[in-house]
Amino acid sequence: MLSVARTISVIGTGYLGAVHAVCMAQLGHTVIAVDVDEDKIAAFAAGRTPFYEPGLDELLTETLATGRLTFTTDPAQVADAEVHFICVGTPQAPGEFRADLTYVYAAADGLGPYLREDALVVGKSTVPVATAERLRRRIAAAAGREAEQVRLIWNPEFLREGFGIEDTLTPDRFVYGVAEPGSAEAEADVALLDDVYAVPLASGIPRLVMDYPTSELVKVAANAFLATKISFINAMSEVCETAGGDVVALAKAIGHDDRIGAKFLGAGVGFGGGCLPKDIRAFMARAGELGADQALTFLREVDAINDRRRARMVDLAREACNGSFIGKQVAVLGAAFKPNSDDIRDSPALDVAEQIHAAGAQVRVHDPRALPVARAHRPGLDYRDSLEEALAGADVVLHLTEWQDYRDLDPAAVRGAVTNPVVIDGRNKLDPDRWKAAGWTYRALGRPNL
C-alpha cells in the first residue's frame, strides 16, 4: 500500500481520464472525477464504462466499492484535491490541422476558482508546444493569482487503447515538465507528483524531469515517430507491390536489427484512431506557427502514405470484383481502428468500407465490439452482428481490423457462406497457406506473389 495517499481530481472522463481516475484510485488515492457530460458521469457512478477497454469494467467496480472513487459534474467538488489532473480531449479543429484547445482552456477556467493555494495541477492532455505556460497563466487568471503562484507539471501520457490500465500503472517512463528545472519550487512539485506515482516509481520506472516545451514535445515526437515507422513500412509495401517483393518477409528481416526493432512494422491499411492522425497534423500546424514547418514536411508524406494504403485497399477490392463494385457484395471484417477497442475514430476499416459503398457495392460490416458506436456515429453502412450474415453471398471479403476472432476463423468452415472465396488481408495477419488450402484466393497489401 501507499505511504502517502493523496486527494486527487481528474478533469475529463474520456478514455484517458477514466482510465487514469480508476488507476489512481486503485493505487490507493482518493479520487474525484469530473466531466460536463451527465450521462457519462451517471454511467461511471453506476459502475458502467461507456466504452470498451479490457479490464476497466472490473477495476471500476473494484475501486468504486472502496469508496475512494467518486464521479461528479459539479466543478466545485474538486476544491479539496491536492493534485488535479487535466485529461480532457484535444481533437483536430474542424477543417484545420491544428488541435482544438477549447476543452483544455475550459478545464483551466473551471478549475481556477476552486484551486487550493498549495494544489498542484498536472496536465496530461496532448497539446501543442507552449500550451503548458499559457494554461498556467489562464488558471492563474481564473484563480485571481499570478502565474508563478500556480503549481503546474506537464505529464504527458503514452497509453495505448486496449492496454490503458497497464500503460497507466506501469508506463515505460514518466515525463515531468516543470516551469524552472532545478528550482526549489520545481523540486517540491516533483516530490508531490512522485507521491502520486509512488507505487510504479518504486518498481524502477524511469522518471525524467525537463522544461515545459520539451515535455510537450516528447509526446508529439513519440507519436510522430510511431506514425512514421508505420508509414515507412507501408511505403516499402508500395515498393514491394511494384517490385514483386514480400513486405512481411522484409519487415521481419529488418526488424531483427536491434536499431530498427520489429515493433510497429505491421504493414497494412495503416494507422487510425484518436491520436496518431490528429497528433501528426497538429504537430505540423504548430511547427508552421513557430516558423519551423520545414522540419516536419516529411509528416505530410507520412500522412499521404497512410491515406494511399486505404485507396490501394479499395483498388484491390475493385479488382477482385472484376473492375466494378456495382451490384457486388463486399464483406468487411472490422470497424474499430484497431483490435481490442471499440474506438472508430479515423478508422481505416470504416474509411475503406465507406469508399467502397460510395462506389456502388453493398457493404456489410462486422466487428466484435465496435458496432454500437459505428451504428451511432457512421450510420450510412450496413452493420451485421453476426459474422455469418456479413459473409453471406460476398464477392470479396476484406480483413481490415485484426481481431483475434478473425485470425482464428476456420477458412474451410466459412468457405460455403460466400459467393466468391476471395479474401484480401488488409492487416497481413491471416495465414495465407491455410486460406489457400481451404480453396480461397488470398491477396494482401505488399505481397504480390502469394
| Positions in the binding site for ligand UDX (CB under 6 A) | 157-161, 223, 226, 230, 264-266, 268, 270-273, 275-276, 337-338
Q: What is the DSSP string of 314-347?
A: HHHHHHHTTT--TT-EEEEE--SSSTT----TT-
Question: Cβ closer to ligand UDX: 177 or 272?
Answer: 272
Residue type, 235: A
How many Å apart are CA 50 and CA 42, to the nearest integer?
10
Q: Output DSSP code: residue 427.
A: S
Query: Which three cell numbers, joined as nine digits, stand for 57?
Result: 469494467
How many Å apart are CA 216 and CA 131, to the nearest integer?
8
Q: 275 catalytic, yes or no?
A: yes
How many Å apart are CA 432 and CA 423, to the nearest integer?
10
Write down the least CB distance from residue 49 to ligand UDX, Å: 16
**Residue 126 Ramachandran class (φ > 0 left, ψ -120 to 50 alpha, else beta):** beta
Query: Which three cell numbers, joined as nine digits, stand for 192?
Result: 508531490
How many Å apart are CA 441 and CA 450, to the nearest integer?
9
Question: Cβ closer to ligand UDX: 316 or 414?
Answer: 316
Minimal CB distance residue for ligand UDX: 266
Write down the least CB distance from residue 212 to ligand UDX, Å: 19
Question: Cβ closer to ligand UDX: 123 or 270?
Answer: 270
Write down the least CB distance from residue 438 to ligand UDX, Å: 26
> Are the beta carbons of 151 and 117 closer than 8 angstroms?
no
Q: Which residues of 336-369 are buried (b: 16+ CB within 10 A; e: fewer)?
A: bbbbbbbbbbbbbbbbbbbbbbebebbbbbbbbb
Write down the least CB distance from residue 272 to ligand UDX, Å: 4
Question: Cβ closer to ligand UDX: 337 or 442?
Answer: 337
> Are the beta carbons of 158 and 167 closer than 8 angstroms?
yes
Write down the least CB distance from residue 136 to ligand UDX, Å: 23
- Name residues whose C-beta falls within 8 Å of residue 257's C-beta, 6 or more positions apart in sequence: none
The residues facing 383 across adjacent strands are: 365
Question: Cβ closer to ligand UDX: 151 or 281?
Answer: 281
- State the catalytic residue, choosing from 87, 240, 275, 321: 275
CA distances from 209 to 86, 157, 181 (A): 19, 14, 7
How many Å apart are CA 137 and CA 364, to the nearest integer?
51
Question: Cβ closer to ligand UDX: 19 or 186?
Answer: 19
Write down the least CB distance from residue 449 to ligand UDX, Å: 22
List active site positions: 275
